[in-house]
Copies of this chain bind each other. A is one copy, B any other.
Amino acid sequence: MNSTPDTFPLRAPQSVASSTAPPACIMLTLEEVHDLSLRVLTHHGLSSAQAQAIARVITAGERDECHSHGIYRLLSCTRTLQHGAVVRDATPVVSDRGPGVVAVDAQFGFSQLAFEVGSKVLLEKVAKTGVAALVINNCYHFSALWPEVEALVEHGVAALAMTPSHSWVAPAGGRRPVFGTNPIAFGWPRVGAHPYVFDFATSAVARGEIELYRRSGRALPAGWGIDADGASSTDAATVLDQGAMLTFGGYKGSALSTMIELLAGPLIGDMTSSESRAKDDGAGAAPCHGELVLAFDPRFFSQGDFLEDRVRAEKLFEGITDQGARLPSQRRFAARERSLGNGCVQVPAALYYDVRQLLL
C-alpha cells in the first residue's frame, strides 16, 4: 500500500449507501485498514514497531467485524497518546524469571508489541515445561485479549489471558468502584475448526455500552449499575459518574474479578485497577498496568494420546452446538470468513472520516 492520505482510495459510489439507515458505509480492503491504522499511529509519533503491532490487531478487529476493536480504537488510542505519558518509541525489554515465567517490560509503550515479543519466549518455555506464564508490565492497554490467545492457540497450546483496567466496578454487596472491567480470555485449539475462544469483561457490560445508553437517554437494564448508595440504578449518568458498574454473575463474578486484580496486578508487581485509575487522574487515557498470560502444552498433560483427547474435546463442542447453542466466537469467525472471502470490510463513512481527521 503506497496510498497517501490524499489519495486514499474510496470504493465505487455504490458502496456509499444513502444517508438513511443503515448508515453510509465505505468498503476497505484489509490492507487499506492496516495501512490507514499504521499511518495514523506513526503520524502521532509512534515508532514503526509499536505502530505495526497495533495496526495488526486493529485490522484483525475489522476483519472479524468486531467494530469496537477496529479503526474506532484509533480515536481512543490517539487520545491516550495525547495524554503524554505513553512512550511512543518504547522497546520492550524481556527478562527471564525462571523456567516457567518470562516477563516483558513494555517500558510504558502499548501492550501489543510487548505481547508479540514476549509470546515467542512464552512458546519456547511452554514447550519445555508444559505450563508457562508471560507477564507484561508497564503497558498501556486498549485492545481485546482474543487476538493474543488466538495467536498462541495457533501453536497448539491452550491459553488464558487476563488484565485489570480502571476501577469503575463495585464488588458484590458494595457501592464504590474497586475493580476494572477486568477481561479474561481463553483459547483452545480445535480439530479442523476455528479455535474455541472466549473473551469477556467481568463487568456486567462494557463501559462503552453504558456510554451509548447515556448518549441516547435510554434507561439501563437492571443489574448493570448502582448509585452512590449502592442501590440499583437505571440512569447511565448516575452509574458512570456517581455510582459504579456491577460485575456479571453477582458474588461469583465479583470473586473472579478479584482474582484478575490479584494475578494480573500485585502478583506481577503491577497496578490494580484502582491504582491505574489514580495514575490516570481523570485524563481518560487507556489503563496503564500489567497483564498475565498462561499457556498449557497438551503434550505434557495427557495421560494417553493428546491428539485423541483433542478429538474427545470436539464432542463437548458438538454437545453445545447440536442443540442450537452458540460457541462464544462463532459470530466473529463467520465474519472473518466473510471478510477474507470478500477481500474487504465495511466501515461507517462517518467513522472513516473521523479517523482520516487524525491524519491532519
Contact = CB atoms under 8 A, between A and B. Distances in A.
Interface of A: 97-101, 103, 105, 128-133, 135, 137-138, 158, 160, 170-176, 178, 186, 188, 196, 198, 200, 202, 248-256, 258-259, 261-263, 265-270, 272, 274-275, 294, 296, 298, 300-304, 306, 309-310, 312-313, 315-316, 319-320, 323-326, 328
15 contacts: A99-B99, A99-B100, A99-B130, A135-B301, A171-B320, A171-B325, A196-B262, A200-B251, A248-B253, A249-B250, A266-B310, A267-B296, A267-B309, A268-B301, A269-B309
A174 B324 CA distance: 6
Contacts of A98: 128-130, 300
Contact of A100 (B97, B132, B174, B258): B132
Copies in the assembly, this chain: 2
Contacts of A176: 319, 323
A262 to B, nearest CB: 5
Count chain B CB atoms within 10 A of each CB in A100, A171, A313 and give the residue with the most: A100
A143 B213 CA distance: 45
Contacts of A301: 97, 101, 103, 133, 135, 267-269
Contacts of A309: 266-267, 269
Given A274-B315, A320-B178, A325-B174, A158 B267 contact: yes
A132 B131 contact: yes
A129 B101 contact: yes
A316 B200 contact: no
A298 B310 CA distance: 32
B316 A266 contact: yes
A203 to B, nearest CB: 10
Contacts of A262: 158, 188, 196, 313, 316
Contact of A312 (B173, B188, B200, B266): B266
B174 A323 contact: yes
B130 A272 contact: no
Contacts of A319: 171, 176, 178, 274
Count chain B CB atoms within 10 A of each CB in A98, A198, A266, A325 and give the residue with the most: A266
A158 B99 contact: no
Contacts of A250: 248-249
A204 to B, nearest CB: 9
A132 B300 CA distance: 12
B133 A130 contact: yes
A272 B316 contact: yes
Contacts of A255: 186, 198, 200, 328
Contact of A158 (B100, B198, B263): B263
Contacts of A248: 249-250, 252-253
Contacts of A99: 99-100, 128-130
Contact of A303 (B137, B274, B304): B137
